Structure 1
């Protein structure tokens, strides 16, 4: 009689990935499953029938040179901390067996090989059954990344698009981003990131074993997103020439970056800045099954000497000077990942800060975190990893100094400016959610902010300086918009019962979000007479033509110095703000609810608010909606003109999706727009 053999093995790709919520990865042609949950492997037999009394099956799973061997049983019971393989007695078919495999919720993540052995009384035959990828499982209560809310699992693991927040706290800019975790080659690139990391190259066995722990995984990924110490994904650049790569502002999604990095043989992609580093890390963590969200800290301190004080210097006429190694970034972007912290004890589980932007070394490597958000709020600077550094980013005090010829003329200290607003995208809605109270005590726990780009946080108030009987404040009339004058008021209060004559010095400088300003592009000077105890409001405006070069990604540092003519004493007030660019309008014919594999039409339109004609290139993307990118050229559009572009597309994935468009103009401004749609079965 012919002996028992396996004719065919099916990893039941569609069924398993649906039950493990990994359907989007099917384009990778790999079985992708999550630890802590069973998946089914079908065996078609040939020869004689399977006899459970005399025949046996053994499963071996291999991760690199590590392996686990387990007999296939007829009982689902077993230790939750061990690999299990079993056949359900109800479905026993002598010619076709369904074997269920289940990795423990603490198994390491990675790409496994699967071997099957058929044991009979006369032989032992082995079969290569294929490969599968094992990810963390936020749906499994025993997994250390378990997050107990389905809407958060959908947002922080499954969603392949989102919003990054930039600009300033008083004028938040919503930046669309495609995380692209289901796009071709992205899963493989994320797995390669672990394989080419220094810990893996140094000791692969130890690395594989430690990949069971999201704390370890997150530190490896944080280090590998930047390329300072390794074959990391992105090279950072914050100034100078970007011609050898892409300016960070031009990226709109993670997929292009990760695929380019993998295809190049792991050469760093040029160039990234904080929001790019953070968004790419968010993609990698979501691919690996670790809940992740992108977080923006407005007025983020970089305290290089650890004294929790940031010094800023101004000239006697209000020009900001570059005299300190400390700095305040108008915004800084990092990620939070959700995980338990058995290494730290009770109370430190939940959201953890991780920052892949290379700022300072952590245990000798450019990475940061995971630092528990609760530890930051409670100033637990005794805890790893990097809690003191993140604490300073949200809590440092700012000392402002007016100087002349190296001599300090006045000082003022602000303990509220740093970390004025910390936010992320709200679950299920395209608007920011305020997280400030999670990081800082005595902060308003507002759950959300207004969603328009011109939204103003209720936590933000104008800074006022008072000295020697005179106080001054500077306030914008409204959030500045491209094509309109910047309107602001300087309010001067004489707190003494004597008349005063003051010199008013106004200065505006363009600046990058993370650096000191450039040269002034606008100045004004005047003489002011104040009666005893008088309050005087001085209204000013900056012509929109002067501001066109700083619309979009750049910001403005606007300062006023009041000088007492008699005593030469000075007071300073300032505001840093962004000028909101126009947005592209996207309209979907028939509404925002779409049917898969059906042609849909959209119209993208742009109004030119600038004082000169502009031309450019329109790029349209949408993970799950459009294959690749669609590009159109836009000829010169006169000031005040409007142009519209029609497109058609066929969605190929279900769920909430983002259609986004960007228009790169000839004046180096990038105009963006996005539309959230829902793709559902008919």
Structure 2
């Protein structure tokens, strides 16, 4: 009796297969000593098996490929797959099934083509080759392939749930490893460069650690709906040992200030090395990491910035602010003691692309997921995936978190004043239907503007109908009707006479160190004299809308003649605001007015960001591959104080690994300048991103593009 075939070698040709699978950029594949196969499901790849001692016999030898996934592989759950090699099998059987067929047989060497099911779990699989003999009493012999095999989603395959028909967009939403995140208040936001770095060697192992720390069953890791919901839960650390600890108070001792990160790679490397959450993140950092994870797994993803974003804490589809009898805003919600509505200057989350077989036809495509911990969903801090089409059409009954997302982009801002005569205790004095969701932005595909915002794309109309149109009001009211709390709030309205018009003038760009003025235009359109009581104030705030410091306040009372106008101006000097600025240098201008004769109350506010200098990165237009090139980075200290604990963070895929460069103290008005060498590894257009931070000054950023030429240029 002949013995079982002995497997001498199994080769998965990681580099050769990676080209057709569009995974050739992964460091794991490019590793010179131990390349690891990174493949996409539903697409053929090549395997070679070499036998020793004797050749394969068609009628007597049995050879099986056994693929296993997770700690307890199970054939019923799809986490263990056994494929018996059949010399007569020559082509795909069905995209739902795994497949293996012969390409070539030459003596002791088999060359096979294999494909994973288009619905299989994604992550690190393991391969075992089993050999046995027909009618033999010998136990099977096994050979374990030495490396893990990563199998990813395949957005290029029409049968995969993440398939994107506009294939050219996948160059941006899956393969682009540097992008932008728009941050800052309405009117002064800017695109901040971010290195997604999804092809770095630490990224896929860090993702596997994240999944293994979650409660997502291994059998569910092929479903993009469940996978992306899990990602939104695990990127924050609120419920578990997630990737990032969120912090918004400006105190970042014991970690890294969010504004100092240049991208996701350093965060994921720290998470992988320490097996614990990394300090610290904020919404745009959470979103950057989410997008890195999704693109690494093959899920098309983009970063979304919502300028003027609502946090609806009590599911009323409104943001409610309350004022006392003196027109001072209350710092709590008297009707909702467990939470308080807030308006963030901006909020950032991610969109992911997928089909939604759990929803009616037409609700696939872009889906919003948010890893920033705001509200609990199904017992955890997670959000989405929420269909953009469902958000736009007010379908609050659909999965997941549609109502919360509708409020984020389209809640009404309602102001209430104490009224002892009202059964509620408050009377609505103003309702702004246009303030929330002023603009929703993402990066435009195939463009990167290192010096400006020409790569900005507005997608507000993908989240809601145009503000003020019948369609916009219809879909919001449709959502309101499905919520008892929202119905109760939206049914109340104010009926005061309004015959005096107010306009709080929006500020243009203000550079740090310059003075500015709060300007209020008032027009009496009535035929009678009106007595106006006003309160104007300026203060510093965190971008989440939390107040930090009052900078200046002015109160007054005056009479305005019929059919006439008045302009009130409050000047704020740099000496008054510089020492009260907090992270990101955002200021809130606020004005409230009461008409004595009619009881009319008006209030409005404007947030803007004091502009900081950008880092100027000086480097040649073109550089040679594998050759050291000197670059310099510089900016001038805009503050009238010494900068201490200074450091630069640099990152640039294929140009240099993440680096931290410490810098000496910087005196007021002095130029900060530092040089470093880069060694480009890959030809083509490459990008570098830098941040500067100090104890006194954060959020200084810069970026540059460079053309890298190969040796033959």
Aligning the two structures, in what range does the TM-score lie when normalised by the shorter sequence?
A: 0.7 to 0.9
* 1:227-242 correspondence to structure 2 within 5 Å: 227-239=237-249, 241-242=251-252
Q: What is the CA–CA distance in structure 1 between the aligned matches of 2:178 and 2:206, rounded to whole Å?
A: 18
Q: What is the CA–CA distance in structure 2 between the aligned matches of 1:655 and 1:217, rounded to whole Å?
A: 33
Residues 1:300 and 2:324 are matched in the alignment: no
String of CA shifts for 1:59-80, please: whole Å, max 9, x gaps.
1111132321112234023122
Worse-superposed segment, 346-355 or 505-514: 505-514
Name the structure 1 match of 2:66.
Answer: 60
* 1:583/1:606 contact within 8 Å kept: yes
Shift of 1:303: 1.5
Name the structure 1 match of 2:20.
Answer: 19
Name the structure 1 match of 2:212.
Answer: 195
TM-score normalised by structure 2 residue count: 0.84
* 1:3/1:48 contact within 8 Å kept: no
Q: Give the alignment partner of residue 175 of structure 1, picking from 192, 200, 203.
A: 192
Name the structure 2 match of 1:31.
Answer: 37
Pair 1:82–1:222, CA change in 2 (3 A): same
* 1:275/1:333 contact within 8 Å kept: yes
Q: Give the alignment partner of residue 378 of structure 1, picking from 386, 390, 393.
A: 393
Pair 1:188–1:410, CA change in 2 (3 A): closer
Q: What is the CA–CA distance in structure 2 between the aligned matches of 1:568 and 1:343, rounded to whole Å?
A: 51
Name the structure 2 match of 1:532.
Answer: 562
Pair 1:357–1:26, CA change in 2 (3 A): same
Name the structure 1 match of 2:485.
Answer: none
Pair 1:48–1:183, CA change in 2 (3 A): same
Q: Secondary structure at the match of 2:268?
A: helix
Residues 1:662 and 2:687 are matched in the alignment: no
Q: What is the CA–CA distance in structure 1 between the aligned matches of 2:114 and 2:709, rounded to whole Å?
A: 31
Worse-superposed segment, 537-546 or 58-67: 537-546
Name the structure 2 match of 1:217.
Answer: 227
Q: Secondary structure at the match of 1:78?
A: coil
The number of equivalent residue pairs is 650
* 1:294/1:333 contact within 8 Å kept: yes
Q: What is the CA–CA distance in structure 2 between the aligned matches of 1:36 and 1:497, rounded to whole Å?
A: 75
Residues 1:127 and 2:143 are matched in the alignment: yes
CA RMSD of aligned residues (A): 2.9
Q: Give the alignment partner of residue 625 of structure 1, picking from 648, 655, 662.
A: 655
Gaps of 5+ in 2: 30-34, 75-79, 334-339, 449-454, 470-494
Pair 1:210–1:619, CA change in 2 (3 A): closer
Residues 1:160 and 2:191 are matched in the alignment: no
* 2:317/2:403 contact within 8 Å kept: no
* 1:538-553 correspondence to structure 2 within 5 Å: 538-548=568-578, 549-550=580-581, 553=584
Residues 1:512 and 2:523 are matched in the alignment: no
Residues 1:650 and 2:667 are matched in the alignment: no
* 2:300/2:352 contact within 8 Å kept: yes
Shift of 1:520: 1.1
* 1:624/1:653 contact within 8 Å kept: yes
Name the structure 2 match of 1:575.
Answer: 606
Name the structure 2 match of 1:203.
Answer: none
Q: What is the CA–CA distance in structure 2 between the aligned matches of 1:510 and 1:26, rounded to whole Å?
A: 44
Shift of 1:264: 2.0
Name the structure 1 match of 2:445.
Answer: 427
Q: Secondary structure at the match of 2:25?
A: helix
Q: Secondary structure at the match of 1:23?
A: coil
String of CA shifts for 1:224-268, please: whole Å, max 9, x gaps.
112222221122233374323333333332222222222223x22
Pair 1:617–1:341, CA change in 2 (3 A): same
Pair 1:365–1:560, CA change in 2 (3 A): closer
Worse-superposed segment, 294-303 or 306-315: 306-315
* 2:504/2:521 contact within 8 Å kept: yes
Shift of 1:326: 1.3
Q: What is the CA–CA distance in structure 2 between the aligned matches of 1:103 and 1:76, rounded to whole Å?
A: 13
Shift of 1:188: 0.3
* 2:434/2:467 contact within 8 Å kept: no
Q: What is the CA–CA distance in structure 1 between the aligned matches of 2:695 and 2:189, rounded to whole Å?
A: 25
Pair 1:645–1:271, CA change in 2 (3 A): closer
Name the structure 2 match of 1:136.
Answer: 153
Shift of 1:109: 0.8
Shift of 1:531: 3.7
Shift of 1:442: 2.1
Shift of 1:350: 0.4
Pair 1:679–1:33, CA change in 2 (3 A): farther
Shift of 1:612: 3.9
Q: Secondary structure at the match of 1:676?
A: strand
Residues 1:248 and 2:252 are matched in the alignment: no
Q: What is the CA–CA distance in structure 1 between the aligned matches of 2:576 and 2:326, rounded to whole Å?
A: 20
Residues 1:440 and 2:464 are matched in the alignment: yes
Name the structure 2 match of 1:585.
Answer: 616
Name the structure 2 match of 1:453.
Answer: none
Worse-superposed segment, 46-55 or 217-226: 46-55
Worse-superposed segment, 600-609 or 35-44: 600-609
Q: Give the alignment partner of residue 78 of structure 1, picking from 64, 84, 93.
A: 93
Q: What is the CA–CA distance in structure 2 between the aligned matches of 1:497 and 1:49, rounded to whole Å?
A: 105
Name the structure 2 match of 1:100.
Answer: 113
Shift of 1:565: 7.2
* 1:339/1:352 contact within 8 Å kept: yes
Q: Secondary structure at the match of 1:175?
A: strand
Pair 1:379–1:421, CA change in 2 (3 A): same
Shift of 1:491: 1.1
Pair 1:62–1:246, CA change in 2 (3 A): same
Pair 1:570–1:433, CA change in 2 (3 A): same
* 1:317/1:561 contact within 8 Å kept: no
String of CA shifts for 1:577-622, please: whole Å, max 9, x gaps.
2222211111321x1x554323233221202333445453223222
* 1:361-510 correspondence to structure 2 within 5 Å: 361-401=376-416, 411-430=429-448, 431-443=455-467, 468-500=498-530, 502-510=532-540
Q: Secondary structure at the match of 2:174?
A: helix
Residues 1:559 and 2:590 are matched in the alignment: yes
Pair 1:386–1:594, CA change in 2 (3 A): farther
Shift of 1:223: 1.3
Name the structure 1 match of 2:296.
Answer: 287
Q: What is the CA–CA distance in structure 1 between the aligned matches of 2:628 and 2:703, rounded to whole Å?
A: 19
String of CA shifts for 1:261-290, please: whole Å, max 9, x gaps.
22223x222222222222211111112111
